[in-house]
């Protein structure tokens, strides 16, 4: 209510990127003020429901709803977002060296389509500064994934070095890692999703993760790969098979799309990745495809156009163990997380499930 009636109208009058920074940085600063986190928890937190707990890839998630990468790019508001009821979150995408990203404006709202177009271009403070932020955040109340990418001027032949460097610098701070090879906003990045390049990259990151684990001790940390929604059919099968052979811990399906089908808002003409409502069905189809190819053996995190409990549930029934939101949060505000979790409980009850894991991939059985 507070968001819809007061904050959103104000934020939507501002430039989209300014509003983004104001919100994330504001949440970061506010988290340092005594009492704020408790207040946020009281307003937006989600109770611990046993039926929504998820055990996946050696990690425990209080609930299946996470924050997608791209919102807290620099890990400045980990404690703040944790207080809003998320079951986990991603920070990043982070690159070895700081990057300004693409020229502004580079983030556009499409209110009529409940969508966003962004061509940010991995703008971030770089891995060393992110390590400082994550160290400062202290112990996280929820699992935090570090989403890693390559610098724009690093040629694809040397991409694996960039991913390795990010793992080296940030290994102690991530509960799991996400390899981003599917953003449409770094030239040539999506080529890393295919064939030999994908094999090489996955092997390099995996090797670095193992090296860091040997160095620091503790249980191995999971590594997920984030794929694009624009990969279909045989191409998707090959990609998924390569990832299975590379022993990744799981797949995040999906990133933003370059498709512009059925949009009405003039901002649809802007180049960049499209997220939000237009992605709802497509992302669910990709999840279904990944689940089918892997026979449900590879964990999937579903992302793309989740605005309602039904949207989240459809992705879970299609094969996702966890889901992530981003664009819907901009349109609906922080009350969304509780709404999704409460709604999921009702949908589970309606279908006679006592635990969310029973619903994963239910459409296939």
CATH code for the domain of 88? 3.20.20.70
Q: What's the rounded Cα separation, in Å, for the pair 269 and 365? A: 41
Distance of CA 185 to the CA centre of its chain: 16
pLDDT at 195: 78
The predicted pLDDT at position 189 comes to: 77
For residue 192, what pLDDT is reported? 76
Shortest CA distance to 279 belongs to which of 301, 265, 258, 309? 258
User: What pLDDT is recorded for position 334?
Assistant: 97
**Cross-strand pairs, 276:** 115
Domain of 261 in residue numbering reads as 2-364
pLDDT in tens, 56-107: 999 999 999 999 999 999 999 999 999 999 999 999 999 999 999 999 999 9
Determine which one of 31, 82, 182, 183 is catalytic: 183
296: helix, strand or coil: coil
Closest-CA residue to 246 (of 173, 184, 181, 151): 181
Catalytic-residue membership of 183 = yes
Classify residue 318 as left (phi > 0), alpha (psi -120 to 50) or beta: alpha
**Other CB atoms within 10 Å distance of the CB of residue 162:** 19
Nearest Cα to Cα of residue 288 among 232, 354, 345, 348: 232
How does pLDDT run along the chain (365 residues), one tens digit per residue? 789 999 999 999 999 999 999 999 999 999 999 999 999 999 999 999 999 999 999 999 999 999 999 999 999 999 999 999 999 999 999 999 999 999 999 999 999 999 999 999 999 999 999 999 999 999 999 999 999 999 999 999 999 999 999 999 999 999 999 999 888 888 887 887 787 889 999 999 999 999 999 999 999 999 999 999 998 889 999 999 999 999 999 999 999 999 999 999 999 999 999 999 999 999 999 999 999 999 999 999 999 999 999 999 999 999 999 999 999 999 999 999 999 999 999 999 999 999 999 999 999 98
Q: Where are the beta strands (DSSP E) in the chain?
A: 54-56, 59-61, 65-67, 88-94, 107-110, 115-118, 144-148, 176-180, 223-227, 250-253, 273-276, 300-303, 322-325
State the total domains in the chain: 1
Tell me, what's the pLDDT at 191?
82
Write out the two tokens for 234.
Answer: 């045989």
Q: For position 1, what pLDDT does the model report?
A: 72
């Amino acid at each position: 209510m507070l968001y819809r009636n007061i904050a959103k109208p104000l934020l939507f009058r501002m430039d989209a990127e300014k509003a983004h920074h104001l919100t994330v940085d504001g949440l970061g600063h506010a988290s340092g003020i005594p009492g704020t986190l408790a207040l946020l928890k009281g307003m937006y937190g989600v109770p611990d429901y046993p039926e929504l707990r998820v055990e996946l890839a050696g990690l425990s998630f209080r609930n299946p709803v996470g924050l997608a990468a791209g919102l807290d790019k620099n890990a400045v508001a980990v404690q703040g977002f944790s207080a809003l009821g998320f079951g986990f979150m991603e920070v990043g995408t982070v690159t070895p060296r700081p990057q300004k990203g693409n020229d502004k404006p580079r983030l556009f709202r499409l209110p009529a389509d409940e969508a966003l177009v962004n061509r940010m271009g991995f703008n971030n403070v770089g891995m060393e500064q992110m390590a400082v932020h994550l160290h400062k955040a202290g112990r996280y109340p929820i699992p935090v994934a570090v989403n890693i990418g390559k610098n724009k001027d690093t040629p694809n032949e040397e991409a694996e070095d960039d991913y390795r460097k990010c793992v080296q610098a940030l290994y102690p701070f991530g509960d799991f890692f996400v390899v981003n090879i599917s953003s449409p906003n770094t030239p040539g990045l999506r080529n890393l999703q295919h064939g030999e390049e994908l094999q090489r990259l996955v092997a390099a990151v995996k090797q670095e993760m193992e090296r860091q684990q040997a160095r620091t001790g503790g249980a191995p940390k999971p590594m997920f790969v984030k794929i694009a929604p624009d990969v279909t059919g045989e191409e998707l099968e090959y990609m998924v098979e390569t990832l299975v052979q590379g022993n990744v811990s799981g797949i995040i399906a999906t990133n933003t799309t370059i498709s512009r089908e059925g949009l009405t808002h003039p901002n649809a003409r802007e180049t960049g990745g499209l997220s939000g409502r237009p992605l709802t069905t497509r992302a669910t189809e990709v999840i279904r495809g990944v689940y089918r190819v892997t026979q449900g053996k590879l964990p999937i995190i579903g992302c793309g156009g989740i605005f309602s409990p039904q949207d989240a549930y459809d992705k879970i029934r299609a094969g996702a163990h966890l889901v992530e939101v981003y664009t819907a949060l901009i349109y609906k505000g922080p009350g969304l997380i509780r709404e999704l979790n409460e709604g999921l409980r009702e949908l589970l009850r309606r279908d006679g499930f006592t635990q969310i894991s029973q619903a994963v991939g239910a459409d296939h059985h």
